[in-house]
Structure 1
Amino acid sequence: MSADLRSDSVCLGGSAPGAELPWEVLQTRMTDGLSAGVEVIEVRNGVFSCNVLPTRGMGIWTAHFGETRFGWDSPVKSPVNPAFVNLKSRNGLGWLDGFNELLCRCGLSFNGPPGIDEGNPSPIESDLTLHGKIANLPAHSVEMISNENEIGVRGIVDESTLFGPQLRLESSITSPLGSSEIRVRDVVTNLGSAPTELQLLYHINLGTPILGEGAKFACPASKVIPRDARAAEDASGYLEYLAPTSGYSEQVYFHETLTNSSGESLAMIQNSSGDCGLSLRFNKEQLPCFSQWKCTQALSDGYVTGIEPATNYPNFKSFEREQGRVVKLGAGESYTIDLVLNVLIDQEHVEEARKEIETIQGGNSCEVMLSPQLQYCSSE
């Protein structure tokens, strides 16, 4: 992002013990084109940095360790102000007009493909658009966090309407000083007086330089299921990635993840040489459903893969409701989610993550299904 696209406003700073550089939390605002008005908070912990977007639902745009960027090159080049995103456009796929983040939430009251959800308990929520509203709602009560151990930002995003859901996301995104970690804690609360439905998926996306021909995915699982006939074409090769391929059509795989004794699972994307990558730690009780998105199309079209822990699989909401995978939050109830993204900066760190994944897998076999399965995959 060039300097003429934003203006500095607020900065916190200090020294990070053992780090090469001081820590800093820098709040800025973009000023040009479709990005005009987008707030960016850059969290620099002394060795590692990430850019949080309060204007876009507390998503994370990019992260950097030294010269290595963790994110992807979307055809959408810069963060888009939600004022310029019409979720109803492009046959309900307008969400794609603002999609370019490393971490983007999908929800809160619905995610998955667009369509008419005739079984929705809220009649004004029956006309669904792709992946919901939360990524295109600005946060309020945004504040920068700093203490002797970590720095970051917190904010509140409300997804509320009259005669419909009243959901509040309270998010804190922090990084321990001198570490290569991003920690996300989200608490979603039903502010209404009646039960309501919750769907939440974390769309975590990587392109070059991590993604490339021969890059690999790893995650402990008991079962892997192709979402549709297209994914079934290459089900046996789900672990590896192609070079940018013109005309490639996306493939999605659903995973029944295994966990350690604490209920945690770990997924990883590594580059072809095994000396750089990104791992994601999540709790299966909080996020029981996991999807792997392979979209290795041409670079100019958006060469990317996604790892997506969620409360549900990204099928149409009515199908997920029928399968019992839509969370119901009672009046005043909250749902807490914790994630840890860890930048793997050398072969030692990649190998450490791989060994942990192998330990969680243990002696358990992984059944790779060669066709979609009814309880996981909607026929729509």
Structure 2
Amino acid sequence: MCAGVDGVGLGCIRFGRSVQSAKAFRRGVAALSPPGGNELAGETVAVEEPAMTVQKRVLTDVRAGRWLDEYDSAADQTLLIDDSLRVRKRRLYGGKSDGVDVIVLQSGTLSVWLLPTRGMGVWKALCGDVDLSWQSPVEFPVHPALVDLQDRGGLGWLNGFNELLCRCGLSFNGPPGVDRRPLPGGGVAESTVTLHGRIANIPAHHVEIEVGGLGEEVSVIGMVEEASMFGPRMQLSARYTVRKGSEVLEIEDEVVNLGGQPAELELLYHINLGPPLLGHGARVVGPFRTVCPRDVRAAEDVATWNEYRGPTPGYAEQVYFMDFDAEQEAVEPLLIDPRGQRAFGVRFDPRQLPCFTLWKNTQLEADGYVTGLEPATNYPNFIGFEREQGRVRILQPGDAFQCRLELRPYLSEQAVAEAVERSGGEQPRVLSAPTLPYAPAAT
């Protein structure tokens, strides 16, 4: 079992407000690079905190013009870090991966490959010998400079899509099209939006390691800015943390509106899994309140919305939208393998991420046999529809949105059974057709 019941988890944490002043909670440039320029690439800085010392190592700092192409915490004599934890960085060369930075974060038997060059996404993960990712037709990480988001009518995002975890946003996600947004003073602003937004194809401008807890926890922190002249300016701060004795990957994100005008926010976590967890007879469980098919195609198999086929020639994707009871503070949808011996959980606070999407894409393995467990601020409908339903968040200047997730592997039959019992929930209300407010009603 990789994720123990008694491990460090969200069950021990009470979540705060999702949106608040950035002054109250902000890991921005000022926090990562304090006045005086003490945090230079190649130096370790110890920051005193009550009852512990936080050690930091900067790997990339675009503003200071400093970076490390390669790094290994095991060879860093200045970092006090437990032997079970390790951080390595290297740069890929050749092909479409040329110039892509990869950071491997390890805790015990868990290894996670992070991609600072691709919006701080997670490329893949292993727990022991179990692959926790999927096999995309896009075999290697693709440098964002080679991804034309406008390709194929706005579907170019798919040309670089192969991650275990990929963020969709920040200004929009969902399908491409022409967005007609009402202006506060009257009139309409038209803009072309592309599939799932820009953030996954923007490189991080600041990346650092933080070691705390007497060397028994390590974080990789990256900052990515999505900005445009005459457009929004938002900054993502993404923190990945692992701890000694736990193979849980903790994720803490903050999005800050750095601009002078209110900014729209849509954020979806596209968490993607394939074999061996996915296979004929695999299933999804969770404390869902309602299940709604996205479209007519999804409605065809709504009776088996949580069950999976094996690889199927000619299969067309099916998508289902879910929500949760308002009083829940933490939920953990699970993908359970066909034998019930392994599972993968995504644990989060539905008050922060109230919308959940299940993406089923059981086509042939050569074409991408995969499912997506997708917590989000919104459903991945076109942004105009989501705006009408009140699911597009507004960040005032200086405000921030924060959320937390955990990715949790379970690798024994007993661990899976315990996770299913904890996940709980009654049978959800299953709608037979696309229904407002979840999806545009079928016509």
TM-score category of the 2 structures, normalised to the smaller one = over 0.9
Q: 1:321 aligns with which of 387, 395, 407?
A: 387
What SS class does the counterpart of residue 221 from structure 1 fall into?
coil
Match of 2:286 in 1: 219
Following TM superposition, by how much is the alpha carbon of 1:176 offset from its aligned partner in structure 2, in angstroms?
A: 1.3
What SS class does the counterpart of residue 212 from structure 1 fall into?
coil
Match of 1:204 in 2: 271
Q: 1:68 aligns with which of 130, 134, 143?
A: 130
| Cα distance in 1 for residues equivalent to 2:265 and 2:277 | 33
Match of 1:96 in 2: 158
What is the root-mean-square deviation of aligned Cα atoms in Å? 1.9
The answer to whether the 8 A contact 1:16-1:178 is kept is: no
Match of 1:10 in 2: 71
Change (3 A) 1:301 1:315: same
- The amino acid that maps onto 1:204 is I
Percent identity between matched residues is 46
- The amino acid that maps onto 1:245 is T
What SS class does the counterpart of residue 353 from structure 2 fall into?
coil
Q: Greater shift after overlay, 170-179 or 87-96?
A: 170-179
Q: 1:144 aligns with which of 209, 227, 233?
A: 209
| Cα distance in 1 for residues equivalent to 2:333 and 2:307 | 14
The answer to whether the 8 A contact 1:224-1:369 is kept is: yes
Q: C-alpha deviations, 1:295-350, integer Å up to 9, x for none? A: 00000000000010111000000000000000000010000010001111211221
Q: Does 1:301 align with 2:362?
A: no
Q: C-alpha deviations, 1:128-156, integer Å up to 9, x for none? A: 00000000000011012223231231010
The answer to whether the 8 A contact 1:9-1:29 is kept is: yes
| Cα distance in 1 for residues equivalent to 2:210 and 2:113 | 14
| Cα distance in 2 for residues equivalent to 1:8 and 1:137 | 18
- The amino acid that maps onto 1:162 is M
Aligned residues: 366
Q: C-alpha deviations, 1:48-79, integer Å up to 9, x for none? A: 11001000000001111111111100000011
Q: C-alpha deviations, 1:88-126, integer Å up to 9, x for none? A: 011100000000000000000000000000126598871
Q: 1:30 aligns with which of 76, 92, 108?
A: 92
- The amino acid that maps onto 1:343 is P
The answer to whether the 8 A contact 2:84-2:244 is kept is: no
Change (3 A) 1:144 1:379: same
| Cα distance in 1 for residues equivalent to 2:108 and 2:437 | 47
Change (3 A) 1:161 1:149: same
Q: 2:406 aligns with which of 320, 323, 340?
A: 340
Following TM superposition, by how much is the alpha carbon of 1:285 offset from its aligned partner in structure 2, in angstroms?
A: 1.1
Q: Greater shift after overlay, 281-290 or 99-108?
A: 281-290
Match of 1:166 in 2: 233
The answer to whether the 8 A contact 2:85-2:108 is kept is: yes
Q: C-alpha deviations, 1:333-379, integer Å up to 9, x for none? A: 00001000111121122111100111xx1xx4421111110211125
Unpaired segments of 5 or more residues in structure 2? 1-67
| Cα distance in 2 for residues equivalent to 1:219 and 1:146 | 34
The answer to whether the 8 A contact 1:219-1:257 is kept is: no
The answer to whether the 8 A contact 1:48-1:66 is kept is: yes
Match of 1:264 in 2: 330
The answer to whether the 8 A contact 2:132-2:273 is kept is: yes
The answer to whether the 8 A contact 1:220-1:259 is kept is: no
Match of 1:85 in 2: 147
Higher relative contact order (CA 8 A, sep 6+): 2
| Cα distance in 1 for residues equivalent to 2:354 and 2:137 | 31
Match of 1:3 in 2: none
Following TM superposition, by how much is the alpha carbon of 1:277 offset from its aligned partner in structure 2, in angstroms?
A: 1.6
Change (3 A) 1:246 1:365: closer
Match of 1:105 in 2: 167
| Cα distance in 2 for residues equivalent to 1:125 and 1:82 | 25
The answer to whether the 8 A contact 2:378-2:386 is kept is: yes
| Cα distance in 1 for residues equivalent to 2:325 and 2:415 | 21
| Cα distance in 2 for residues equivalent to 1:65 and 1:186 | 23
Change (3 A) 1:316 1:75: same
The answer to whether the 8 A contact 1:15-1:23 is kept is: no
| Cα distance in 2 for residues equivalent to 1:197 and 1:138 | 21
Q: Does 1:284 align with 2:350?
A: yes
Match of 2:340 in 1: 274
Unpaired segments of 5 or more residues in structure 1? 1-6
Match of 1:50 in 2: 112
Q: 1:135 aligns with which of 200, 206, 210?
A: 200
Following TM superposition, by how much is the alpha carbon of 1:22 offset from its aligned partner in structure 2, in angstroms?
A: 3.5
- The amino acid that maps onto 2:418 is E
Match of 2:396 in 1: 330
| Cα distance in 1 for residues equivalent to 2:178 and 2:291 | 29
Q: 2:318 aligns with which of 251, 257, 262?
A: 251
The structure with the largest alpha-carbon Rg is: 2
Match of 1:155 in 2: 222
Change (3 A) 1:325 1:259: closer
Q: C-alpha deviations, 1:3-52, integer Å up to 9, x for none? A: xxxx97111138986xxx74210011110200011100000112211001
Normalising by structure 2, what TM-score? 0.80
Match of 2:305 in 1: 238
| Cα distance in 1 for residues equivalent to 2:81 and 2:319 | 41
